[in-house]
Structure formats: structure tokens, C-alpha cells
């Protein structure tokens, strides 16, 4: 959805309403609350470019939930990129195909892929738009981009801020990217946000929390609408998983 086709005013109430409708209708629960399974299923038998494979430290590369291995095991072919020379060399020595490359640059690997994966990276870079343009440059027609990033509005983050007095969840974070931000990043990158996924606590949990919140808020004579905060899937999801494709596809 390109909101500028509706109005040039980003505060237009009609446009905001249309964006809310679009986003909520394109939101779905992460299957089984399992990103590992979702990721493996999403790239099965596809060629994949994996951006930011190291995940900060060498220790992550031996973890069972290391994303690059999950992708490599499921895809038909995977190329990884990262900016840490010694760890890129180490991965290549272990049989992985990893290139030393800055994914916010104008570099071109000279090939395109069925899928591009950006897992917990986009919130660290200087320019998310440049990163998404890099991903688009390497995305084949009909392909998809998967972007995983933290949700700063979930209860876990709010609780952490309460404990610490401020957000210190990761000292390398430059941005947090909510769905409206990803819509705009996509628009500026020539991409389209086709959907996004959240963790999902389950129907019974929702109903219980909604009832409890309603009673508490009514007891304090507050508007019952505030109970919706406790029932929204985005209040519980620690991550957003965005899916994008070429805007003209």
C-alpha cells in the first residue's frame, strides 16, 4: 500500500484509517510461535541471500537457533554476508558461502535470489532504507524479503524500561521499526509490505486477559477501550516479522 496515492498529508485522518485497516488485515500469528520453523519453511528449496549472518559474536554461530544454519539446511543454496572479516573467513573455512560486504552500500553481488533474509539486523544500521534497497537489488522477480526486528511496544520492553528507568535492551540499536515505519521504508525503497507476523498467546489467554483488564479498568472508572491494549497481539509479541516484495510485482 502506497499511502501517498491517497493523500500527500501523512496526518490525514482518512489515510491513517486506511493504513490501520491495511496493517491489521495483513497481520497474522507466527505459526506455532516458532520463528525457526517459519524460517525453514519460508526458504525451503529456495536460493537465499542472508544478510548479517554472524549475529554479533562467534558463540551465536554454534547455537542451535543460529539463523544462517537453519536457512542453509533448508534452502537449495544460501549466500551470507557480514562485515566482520575474521568471522567471514572462519565461516568460509567451515564450508559456508559468506561474503565480506556492507549491506547498506551500493555493492552488487551480481546475482539475485528467491528470498532475502534480514534477521535482527535492520535496527542496527545507519540507514534502513539503504539496506532495503540493497535487498531489493538482489531480489529476483516474484521473490520475498523477510525482516525480523524487535517490537519495542510489547509488555516485555515496557517492563524492562520500568525496571531500568530507560531502554537498554541492546546498546547497538539505532532504531525500532513498527509496522507503519516498515511501510514507509518499503515505499522509499521501491518495495511493498505484503504482511507481517507476531507472536500469539492464544485465544484463551486473550479472553482471560480481556475480561481481567475490563474489570480492573472499570473498577478504576477508566474507559473500557483501554482493555484492548491488553488483548492486542502486538502487546505480547517481542518481535515483528515483515514480509516484502517488489512494489511492481
pLDDT band at 197 (very low <50, low <70, confident <90, very high): very high
CB 146 within 8 A of CB 241: yes
Instruction: Encode pLDDT of 23-40 as tens digits.
Output: 999 999 998 889 999 999
Domains and CATH numbers, the chain: 3-202+238-246 (3.40.50.150)
Angular region, 116: left φ>0, alpha ψ -120 to 50, beta rest: beta
Instruction: Encode pLDDT of 212-232 as tens digits.
Output: 555 655 555 555 555 566 667
Helix (H, G, I), strand (E, B) or coil at 102: coil
Please tell me the pTM assigned to this model. 0.86
Instruction: Encode pLDDT of 150-187 as tens digits.
Output: 998 887 777 787 888 887 778 888 889 999 999 999 99
Measured CA to CA, the distance from residue 5 to residue 15 in angstroms comes to 9
Backbone phi, then psi, for 171, in 5-degree steps?
-75, -5
Helix (H, G, I), strand (E, B) or coil at 90: helix
Name the one residue in this structure whose C-alpha cell is 535470489. 113
Amino acid at each position: 500500500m502506497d499511502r501517498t496515492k491517497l493523500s500527500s498529508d501523512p496526518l490525514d485522518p482518512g489515510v491513517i484509517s486506511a493504513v490501520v485497516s491495511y496493517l491489521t488485515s495483513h497481520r497474522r500469528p507466527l505459526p506455532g510461535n516458532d520463528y525457526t520453523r517459519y524460517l525453514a519453511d519460508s526458504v525451503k528449496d529456495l536460493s537465499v541471500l542472508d544478510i548479517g549472518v554472524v549475529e554479533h559474536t562467534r558463540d551465536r554461530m554454534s547455537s542451535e537457533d543460529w539463523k544462517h544454519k537453519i536457512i542453509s539446511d533448508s534452502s537449495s543454496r544460501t549466500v551470507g554476508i557480514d562485515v566482520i572479516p575474521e568471522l567471514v573467513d572462519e565461516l568460509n573455512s567451515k564450508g559456508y558461502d559468506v561474503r565480506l560486504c556492507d549491506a547498506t552500500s551500493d555493492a552488487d553481488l551480481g546475482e539475485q535470489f528467491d528470498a532475502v533474509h534480514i534477521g535482527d539486523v535492520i535496527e542496527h544500521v545507519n540507514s534502513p532504507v539503504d539496506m532495503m534497497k540493497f535487498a531489493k537489488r538482489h531480489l529476483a522477480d516474484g521473490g520475498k524479503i523477510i525482516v525480523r526486528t524487535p517490537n519495542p511496544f510489547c509488555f516485555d520492553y515496557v517492563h524492562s524500561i520500568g525496571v531500568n528507568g530507560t531502554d537498554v535492551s541492546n546498546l547497538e540499536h539505532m532504531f525500532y521499526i513498527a509496522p507503519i515505519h516498515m511501510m514507509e521504508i518499503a515505499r522509499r525503497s521501491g518495495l511493498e509490505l505484503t504482511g507481517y507476523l507476531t507472536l500469539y498467546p492464544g485465544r484463551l489467554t486473550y479472553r482471560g486477559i480481556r475480561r481481567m483488564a475490563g474489570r480492573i479498568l472499570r473498577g478504576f472508572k477508566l474507559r473500557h477501550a483501554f482493555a484492548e491494549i491488553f488483548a492486542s497481539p502486538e502487546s505480547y509479541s517481542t518481535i515483528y516479522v515483515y514480509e516484502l516484495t517488489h512494489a511492481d510485482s
